[in-house]
Each structure stands twice: as structure tokens, then as C-alpha cells.
Amino acid sequence: MNISDVAHYLRYESGRRKYIIRSEILNQSASLIKARIFIAPETFIQVYRNDLFNTTNFALIHNSQRITDLL
């Protein structure tokens, strides 16, 4: 999956999944994307994809604190 796929699926799944309040792309360039998927007012999944280094990371954040790495 590359950054254009991530951006596409964020928009697609946000409209399809009832538990997603909203998603927002914080930063996007030719080689990386950083986004948030809000599942509650103070809870979101932070998504980071870097095509240059072929890395993808997810973290669950609640009340501004990282709960866990998801993958």
C-alpha cells in the first residue's frame, strides 16, 4: 500500500464505517502521509505511511496519550 492508497481508503472507509466520526490528513507529500481516524471525541488512530522507507505505523491515542502501537 502506498500513500495514494492510504489517502483513498481513509476517505472511502470514513464514509462507510459508522464508528468513524471523521478522518483528517495532517500532512501529505510525495513520499509520506500522516492522518488521524477519530473514533470518539478524544480517541483516534494515528496513521503514518512513508513510501521512501516502506514503513506503515498505526497508534491508538486517547486523551493525548499513546495507548499502544497497533501494527
Residue 1 grid cell:
500500500
For 60, the domain range is: 3-69
pTM for the full model? 0.85
pLDDT per position as a tens digit, 12-54: 999 999 999 999 999 999 999 999 999 999 999 999 999 999 9
Q: Is 64 left (phi over 0), alpha (psi -120 to 50) or beta?
A: left
Instruction: Please report which confidence band the pLDDT of residue 69 belongs to, taking 50, 70 and 90 as the band edges.
Output: low
Cα–Cα distance measured from residue 63 to residue 29, given in angstroms and rounded to the nearest whole number: 28
Domain count, the chain: 1
CA-wise closest residue to 11 among 34, 30, 37: 37
By the 8 A CB rule, do 37 and 14 touch? yes
